[in-house]
Structure 1
Amino acid sequence: MPTVLVVEDEPFVREFISGELVAEGYSVIEARDADTAIAVLETREDIHLVFTDIDMPGSMDGLKLAAYVRDRWPPVHIIVTTGKSRPLTIPANALFISKPYRSETVVAAIRTFQSM
């Protein structure tokens, strides 16, 4: 199964979705912010998908992280999420899921990338 990098600053939310994805058979790596996520991406070649919250502290938010991932690691799939309004633009070929989300919705979105 693909490896998913979950980028979320809220520990409860991060642990919840990570646990749900592990239960579905995915390998999951967690990051609390974009800087940590980039460090993971720079050292691992097995990341298939980045699932990132938009609103995070640090040097960049989730939208900037998604754009950076799209530019630097084009094969990596991206799903962005937020509890606020849908952003006007997201990187090409990325998906958006609004919060609160159901784990089944996230899994279904990840599976759409697996069939590509």
Structure 2
Amino acid sequence: MSENPTSTPPRDPPPGGGLEAILMVEDNAEVRLMGATLLEEAGFAVHQAGDADEALALVREGLAFDLLFTDIIMPGEMDGVALAAEVRRLRPGTPVLLTTGWGDRAENRDGLELIGKPYRSLDLTRKIRAVLDPPESPV
């Protein structure tokens, strides 16, 4: 068989979810619904919370999830960075991805990964995969 020189080579499938669950925390209901839809279409299970208090209640009730995806700027006493710190205190090692539409607010994020808003589906799933599957460090 000969190869067709005008055909394009197959591309890797877009990164997506496997069996992972994401706790998505976003105070804007429309943005939360859009983000959850993108994540579900990529194959992730999504649990939603509208603010830090609601998210912490879910965590304290024992919700199983693999990654916290949270907006930085939210109403209430706790922003997304503080929420991430509390979730990591309760569940050490929990991967976290922050998001914000306010670039100037992204500087104070305690070294956590960030994706800016608005985000595209492919960019979001790639970033989540990078946070969930970090490269292994040499021994």
TM-score (norm 2): 0.75
Hey, what's the Cα distance between the residues in 1 that align with 2:132 and 2:92? 15
* Greater alpha carbon shift after TM alignment, 43-52 vs 10-19: 43-52
* Greater alpha carbon shift after TM alignment, 34-43 vs 57-66: 57-66
* Greater alpha carbon shift after TM alignment, 40-49 vs 24-33: 40-49
2:106 to 68, 79, 87: 87
Superimposed CA distance per residue, residues 17-56 of structure 1 (whole angstroms, 9 cap, x where no aligned partner)? 1011111111100000000000111123521101101111
User: Would you say 1:115 and 2:133 are equivalent positions?
Assistant: yes
Letter of the aligned partner of 1:32 in structure 2? G
| 3-state DSSP of counterpart to 1:79 | strand
Hey, what's the Cα distance between the residues in 2 that align with 1:74 and 1:103? 28
Correspondences of 1:3-82 after superposition (within 5 Å) = 3-82=21-100
- CA drift of 1:74 comes to 1.7
| 3-state DSSP of counterpart to 1:47 | coil
Which has the larger Rg? Answer: 2
| 3-state DSSP of counterpart to 1:57 | coil
Hey, what's the Cα distance between the residues in 1 that align with 2:114 and 2:40? 21
TM-score (norm 1): 0.89
- CA drift of 1:75 comes to 2.4
Residues 70, 91 of structure 1: 8 Å contact kept: no
Hey, what's the Cα distance between the residues in 1 that align with 2:131 and 2:117? 20
Letter of the aligned partner of 2:38 in structure 1? E
Residues 5, 49 of structure 1: 8 Å contact kept: yes
CA RMSD for the aligned pairs?
1.5
Aligned residues: 115
Q: What are the ranges of 5 or more consecutive residues in structure 2 without an aligned counterpart?
A: 1-18, 135-139
Q: What are the ranges of 5 or more consecutive residues in structure 1 without an aligned counterpart?
A: none
